Structure 1
Amino acid sequence: MIRQIQKRPAGSDASPLFLFHDASGTISNYLALGLLGRDVYAIADSRIKAKGDESLQEMSRRYYALIKSTISEGTILLGGWSLGGMTALQVAWIFSRDPKINVAGVLMIDSPFPDYRIALSLALESPASEDGPTPTRSDLEKSMLQTLTMLHKWKIPVWRREPQPHTVMLCAGDDVISDHVALSLVDQFRDSPTLGWNERAGSSIVNESYPIQGHHFSIFDSRNVDSVTKTIVTVTAAMEMMAPEDDEY
């Protein structure tokens, strides 16, 4: 499901931003964001309760098709929180084969490098975002476990024919306070400005990083959301300035 959640101001030519769901499959965290000055679309996972072992690559191909059904050509921005940032990276790689679309940048909102092997053996519980009817805890735990398995099997894309879009990490400033090991794993690379990516991915995935308020699960809380909103506005505007003109692409 793709949903437009913000509209650009009249007369603006700002490129649209597409934000991908988190591991719960929902998008309502993005509804808390302040005005970003551009069309903003959020993509939810309508298959959160579906069975199967869809890979991140397969899921990203579905989302590529959704975006193409909305924007057939031009410049776009991709991003997301947590799993959404990794999905954005994979969808950007798919778009690198599309001559009609230019991905000006990838925005990863506190998306730590996916080294969650320990968590695969744990029963997970996670503060979930909500969008529509509240899933049961077992639904959410199942979704989280499926996500961890998916990320464990994911091969991080490598750009060979085209340069990787400018990629920015927004890093939460605080650690999660929890006795649950699975939750604390989101902070295992908290000391790294790229949340572990440039040290562990085999190449420099993240070009820049910016601090934002809160911990991984409180970024969109009312006391912190102004911080992430202002940073997204700044970062996306800079990405557009660095991107080639459409007629040069």
Structure 2
Amino acid sequence: MNLVEFLQDLVTQGWQLWSEGEKLHYRASKSELTASVLSQLKQHKTEILELLRDRPDIFNVDSLNVEQLTASLHQNRRVSSSSPLVPIQPIGSKVPIFCVHPFAGTVFCYRDLAQLLGRDQPFYALQALGIQDGQEPLTRVEDMATLYLAAVREVQPQSPYILMGWSFGGMVALQMAHELKTQGEQVAFLGLLDTYTYSHLPDEQYISKEVVIELPHETLSISWEELQRLPIEQQAIFLCEQAKQTNLIPSDIERSLRVQLSNSEAMCNYLPLPYPGTIFLFRAEKGLFSFSQDVSVLEPTLGWAEVVANIELHTIPGYHEYMVHQPNVSILAQKLKDCIEQALNPDEHHDV
């Protein structure tokens, strides 16, 4: 009996399975608590916990779907602990979405968006190297794209591909699309979520630069100006002092700082090549929150018209910093749904 059949039998027999952190809990009648069943539960504990983290109600008898259960097990097994790929919502029958991290390198910010896109829409995020302990951050967009594509292909070996990224992540998504096109693959949808070309970023005198340390339950923002007064070896110490009132720990802060410095270097040195496909650009209506210059003077495509001939522009209410947070993310999610459906089924959409 394989794992899917084993779990299906448990559910139909009335077993209840749920998790609390790394603990697996179950409820069943005494007659069903056989040594064989308990042994299999222990053997497959890690896989069952992963399933419950992705979808807590997956073992509900009313919603159990064997095909989705099989697909989820298959996908979870393919994503190793060292992979940059984070399966935020791995279950579903639609073409998966792969979304690249923003400047901070973490991907917690995409949880609301993944949820709003629907339970049948697989959503994977790509987290920066260096966020986890023992990893060295990358300093070139091209290297990030190559690494991330290798991880993407572990889950989806063949096209069509759906790629996107918020802020800095859009640059990396564009480079990934370049590589796929060069290799003869189809990029059905490329979405840039308020991504600026480096040449069109606001001038330094108009924007206050910050380093943002973002973890699941805490966020710390520190001015670059304060950091730049200190030698690099003292910057993490300074951040630790600033974080005393939070739950952030020194190693988290040091790793996040190194990732952001590496992403800054990558962004400054990246020269995008002309892209032969279409990009869907979702622009924040109010621009950057800390941008004091008149937003109307910004180039409408944030500089991408210089390298991309075909741009479909959509405007999202609010500021850049809040695009993937409520209430703006609900509008973004609906626009993404419509655009992705249009991109995957172009023959079904005609102008009237």
* TM-score > 0.5, shorter chain as reference: yes
Aligned partner of residue 41 in structure 1, secondary structure: strand
Kept in 1: contact 2:139–2:263 (CA 8 A): no
Kept in 2: contact 1:167–1:208 (CA 8 A): yes
Structure 1 residues not aligned, in runs of 5+: 179-183, 244-249
Identical columns (%): 21
Q: Which residue of 1 aligns with 2:169?
A: 84
TM-score normalised according to structure 1 size? 0.77
Kept in 2: contact 1:176–1:216 (CA 8 A): yes
Matches within 5 A, 1:54-69: 54-69=139-154
- Residue 108 in 1 paired to residue 192 in 2? yes
Structure 1 residues 214 and 150: alpha-carbon distance in aligned structure 2, compared to 1, 3 A threshold: same
Kept in 2: contact 1:186–1:216 (CA 8 A): no
Matches within 5 A, 1:220-239: 220-239=324-343
Kept in 2: contact 1:18–1:43 (CA 8 A): yes
Matches within 5 A, 1:198-213: 198=305, 201=306, 203-205=307-309, 207-213=311-317
- Residue 194 in 1 paired to residue 295 in 2? no
Q: Which moved more, 1:109-118 or 1:209-218?
A: 109-118
Kept in 2: contact 1:26–1:44 (CA 8 A): yes
Q: Residues of 2 paired with 1:189 and 1:91: CA distance?
A: 31
Structure with more contact order per residue of length (Cα contacts < 8 Å, sep ≥ 6): 1
- Residue 41 in 1 paired to residue 145 in 2? no
Q: Residues of 2 paired with 1:187 and 1:206: CA distance?
A: 26
Larger Rg: 2
1:196 CA drift (Å): 2.1
Structure 1 residues 8 and 111: alpha-carbon distance in aligned structure 2, compared to 1, 3 A threshold: same
Match of 2:319 among 190, 193, 215: 215
1:64 CA drift (Å): 1.1
- Residue 26 in 1 paired to residue 142 in 2? no
Kept in 2: contact 1:3–1:42 (CA 8 A): yes
Structure 2 residues not aligned, in runs of 5+: 1-83, 219-247, 348-352
Kept in 1: contact 2:130–2:258 (CA 8 A): no
Q: Which residue of 2 aligns with 1:247?
A: none
Deviation per CA, 1:47-70, whole angstroms, max 9, x where unpaired?
248556631101111011111111
1:35 CA drift (Å): 2.4
Q: Residues of 2 paired with 1:2 and 1:82: CA distance?
A: 18
Residue type of the alignment partner of 2:96: P
Q: Residues of 1 paired with 2:297 and 2:174: CA distance?
A: 20
TM-score normalised according to structure 2 size? 0.56
Paired positions, count: 224
| RMSD over aligned Cα atoms | 3.1
Deviation per CA, 1:143-200, whole angstroms, max 9, x where unpaired?
33332221221121235xxxx232110011113343xxxxx399878733311221xx
Q: Residues of 2 paired with 1:87 and 1:62: CA distance?
A: 11
Q: Residues of 1 paired with 2:197 and 2:109: CA distance?
A: 21
Q: Which residue of 2 aligns with 1:170?
A: 282
Residue type of the alignment partner of 2:274: V
